[in-house]
Structure 1
């Protein structure tokens, strides 16, 4: 826990904090109606100036260059926002896993697993889903280990019942 406090308590440089706040502001603003209206207004203004500049190559180059630069920068802002949202979602899920009795702690930080590990876990949970289907009780939850134990008990119980009944020949 001291490590967490140490990381959370680390001061960031003023430059990094400034750019973080600027990126946050632009990300939030770019998703607003006002931002769309400003962009639309700029495109309309550009279109209206076409006759003034005789639809020259320079006139076309202005909009092409502007939109390319804005798009290029927005890709990084969108990725930054998605990374942050994803991390926050993982933290919330990790908190739920950590405090839920019976939940498997091996899934905490699953986002850091390799693709092979993720595929293995996917197969693991597919097995759990199959075992749950066999129990015909969709409301019951358990781990794969519990499902395997329950399944084995049922198989043994069926086997015992079948051994106790006379066979007709």
Structure 2
């Protein structure tokens, strides 16, 4: 199945479960100016009622309980949105890697690599960056071997 066929199949289905639609709507709304103004209004309203309730423990408990519940629920919505955004970003990067001539397809799904594999790749790209810096042409090489060959050719041509 090609990516286009997969997208058409997904597009022909409904736009997600009820939970997905609700969480998406809440996530979008909670990041709006209106949500901030509402939260600010609640806090100001609570603060202004302090003298009326003589700053009692119950008065304090109301804001503490309310903010704790909202924070608890928002953590899950934020994490869900972040997971989705991260996955979409990985898919876009995978598409760029797959479509770019000379790019290493080994990096597709790099997010699934172990920490040790990531450390090895990091060292590789640090070495490649050093070689490219010596070459003064960052777009010329895609592998350490190419960088070393280009550098060696450059050194031979400068010494001749």
What's the TM-score bracket when you normalise by the shorter of the two chains?
Answer: 0.7 to 0.9
User: 1: distance between equivalents of 2:48 and 2:33?
Assistant: 22
- Residues paired across the two proteins, number: 156
Cα deviation code 1:17-59 (max 9, x no counterpart): 1111111111111111100110011111111222222221111
Distance of aligned partners of 1:2 and 1:92 in 2 relative to their CA distance in 1, 3 Å threshold: closer
User: 2: distance between equivalents of 1:119 and 1:133?
Assistant: 21
Shift of 1:2: 6.7
User: 2: distance between equivalents of 1:23 and 1:133?
Assistant: 47
Distance of aligned partners of 1:17 and 1:90 in 2 relative to their CA distance in 1, 3 Å threshold: same
User: 2: distance between equivalents of 1:89 and 1:48?
Assistant: 45
1:57 is aligned to 2:57: yes
Cα deviation code 1:131-154 (max 9, x no counterpart): 112212344243223223334555
User: 1: distance between equivalents of 2:36 and 2:47?
Assistant: 16
Shift of 1:79: 1.1
State the partner residue of 2:6: 5
Matches within 5 A, 1:128-139: 128-139=128-139
- Runs (5+) with no aligned partner, structure 2: none
1:18 is aligned to 2:28: no
State the partner residue of 1:124: 124
State the partner residue of 1:81: 81
Using the size of structure 1 for normalisation, the TM-score is 0.80
State the partner residue of 2:104: 104
Aligned CA RMSD, in angstroms, stands at 2.6
